[in-house]
Amino acid sequence: MSSTPLARQSIRRRLLAFLVSVLLLLVGAAAAVTYWSALRAANDAYDRALLDPAIDLQQNLRMDNGVPRLDLPPTAQEALMYDQADEVVFQIRAPDGTVIAGVDDLPPAAALVQGHHLFYDVNYHDKDLRVAALLNEKNILIQVGETRHKRNRLIGEILVAELVPTLLIALATIGLAWAGVAHGLAPLARVRTELLARSPHDLRPIPNDAAPVEIAPVVDAFNGLLDRLRNASAMQKRFFANAAHQLRTPLAGLQMHLELLLRREQAPDVRAELERLHKATVRTGRVTSQLLALAKAESAPGIERKFEPVDLYQCVEAGAQQWVPNAIARDIDLGFALEHVVVPGDTLLLTELLDSLLDNALRYTPEGGTVTVQCGTREGVTYLSVEDTGPGIPESDRDKVFERFHRVAGTQGEGSGLGLAIVREVADRHGARVAIETPEGGEGTRIVVLFGTATRERRDAA
């Protein structure tokens, strides 16, 4: 039943793959949005502070013969440009574009209207600079730029503050989904346990009132299948009943008329012929019964009929009655040694089992022999046994005798080879083991049915 793990899909894996990819997308999008808004917040916070020195510089501009000049001592300039975190540079350009103060390699800001300012980013000496540009009424361009350390630090802080909880939530979601799948699938595990514990003949529906909405359709569908199997099995049972009737009734008529003919005076050759016919008819009747018993044992009477406590003593006493005349007719000493022992079982099937054992024993035991039926407890195990003084079953044949239509080579009598197949089938249904032993005397056969000793394959497989 094991298919390759590769081909097997896992609900948990599928759900997790879906969750992880969606969460990654969501967290990525959240990070992008957070970064963008953090960038804006950082620029908003520091741009105003960057414009202040530009305004200060503008206020310290003097005109010398129509030429602008910065009237600020170097110490004051230094103080103005001082910042704890960032490097700050400035530049003042005359209307003709000549740099009159500050660094001379900062490119001029693009289109700027007189009396207005703007902020922009630029790469300067391999550093990202944020620049505040101011164009005064006299068309003099004042620019102050600073590196982005402060801003980046703020963005980082905002990102950490925003994204760490988001990531934690995402991880928790994945963890919960992992555990949740197991929890959510627990009803399936219950259904599985229920199914594993079933006997192969138990076709009652699975109780689905406790099944969650998601599983209920599966359980319903399965119960539908069980229902169809049950119907099929009921039809099969009706078929057996009809077949039994259609076969046994004419056989009964045939046997009766042959027996009536045999009671009349007949010529010796006719009598011999009639006796052969009678023998064949009786045999056909028995094989018919055995085939039906076997079919019954292996079909599903366990559906409606539950196992009930069966007292083997009573079961044997009720079933053995009909074998006594048979034994007397063949001068076989049929005896019983019974104890009251109770096993869970099906009386009908156990009677079929006993019938088969006795039929075999009486058939193969020569006239004047002994057959003993016993039930009781041996070493703590409940058993039912039939012992005879027949020819015995050779060791080499002991496995094969349970096969259908197998007959021990060289045996007398007209066995069908079905008796022990029935015994085993019924024993299997009762979780019992069948053992063939040689009785203490060293002759004959002792067949023992040991109840409650068979390990059920189904449990091993589970």
Partner 1 sequence: MRILVVEDDPLLAEGLANVLSRAGHAVDHAATGARAEQALTTTEFDLVVLDIGLPDVDGFALLQQLRARHSPASVLVLTARDTVEDRVHGLDLGANDYMTKPFSVAEFEARVRALLRRSAVPEAQLAAGTLSMDLSAKRARVGGKTIELTSREWSLLELFLTRAGRVLSKDQIAERLLTQDEQLSPNAIEVYVSRLRAKIEPEGFRLRTVRGFGYLWDAGNE
Binding site for partner 1 (CB under 8 A): 241, 244-245, 247-257, 259-260, 263, 281-282, 285, 289, 296, 317, 319-321, 324-325, 328, 333-338, 347-348, 351-352, 372
Minimum CB distance to partner 1, residue 203 (Å): 19
User: By C-beta, is 143 or 289 nearer to partner 1?
Assistant: 289
Distance, CA of 403 to chain centre:
35
Distance CA 409, CA 302 (A): 35
Indicate the SS3 state at residue 89.
strand
User: By C-beta, is 12 or 237 nearer to partner 1?
Assistant: 237
**Structure-token match 């540079």, residue found:** 89
What contacts 296, CB < 8 A, 6 or more positions away?
A: 240, 348, 349, 352
Minimum CB distance to partner 1, residue 2 (Å): 41
| Cβ proximity of 349 and 426 under 8 Å | yes
User: By C-beta, is 152 or 347 nearer to partner 1?
Assistant: 347
Minimum CB distance to partner 1, residue 451 (Å): 19
Distance spanning both ends of the chain, measured CA to CA:
12
Minimum CB distance to partner 1, residue 180 (Å): 51
Residue 259 host element (H or E): helix 216-263
Minimum CB distance to partner 1, residue 257 (Å): 5
Distance CA 32, CA 26 (A): 10
Nearest to 388 by CA among 317, 327, 319: 327
Distance CA 444, CA 370 (A): 10
Nearest to 43 by CA among 152, 161, 122: 152
What contacts 407, CB < 8 A, 6 or more positions away?
A: 415, 417
User: By C-beta, is 347 or 453 nearer to partner 1?
Assistant: 347
Distance CA 404, CA 401 (A): 8
| Cβ proximity of 214 and 181 under 8 Å | no
User: By C-beta, is 170 or 361 nearer to partner 1?
Assistant: 361
Nearest to 360 by CA among 299, 450, 272, 286: 286
Neighbours of 267 (CB within 10 A): 8
Minimum CB distance to partner 1, residue 331 (Å): 11
Minimum CB distance to partner 1, residue 253 (Å): 3
Minimum CB distance to partner 1, residue 8 (Å): 46
Minimum CB distance to partner 1, residue 281 (Å): 8
User: By C-beta, is 136 or 356 nearer to partner 1?
Assistant: 356
User: By C-beta, is 173 or 299 nearer to partner 1?
Assistant: 299
| Cβ proximity of 361 and 388 under 8 Å | yes
User: By C-beta, is 226 or 287 nearer to partner 1?
Assistant: 287
What contacts 261, CB < 8 A, 6 or more positions away?
A: 274
Indicate the SS3 state at residue 314.
helix
Distance CA 296, CA 312 (A): 20
Minimum CB distance to partner 1, residue 199 (Å): 20
User: By C-beta, is 193 or 249 nearer to partner 1?
Assistant: 249
Q: What are the backbone dihedrals phi and psi of residue 120, each rounded to the nearest 5 degrees, phi first?
A: -150, 165
Minimum CB distance to partner 1, residue 411 (Å): 24
User: By C-beta, is 218 or 251 nearer to partner 1?
Assistant: 251
User: By C-beta, is 157 or 317 nearer to partner 1?
Assistant: 317
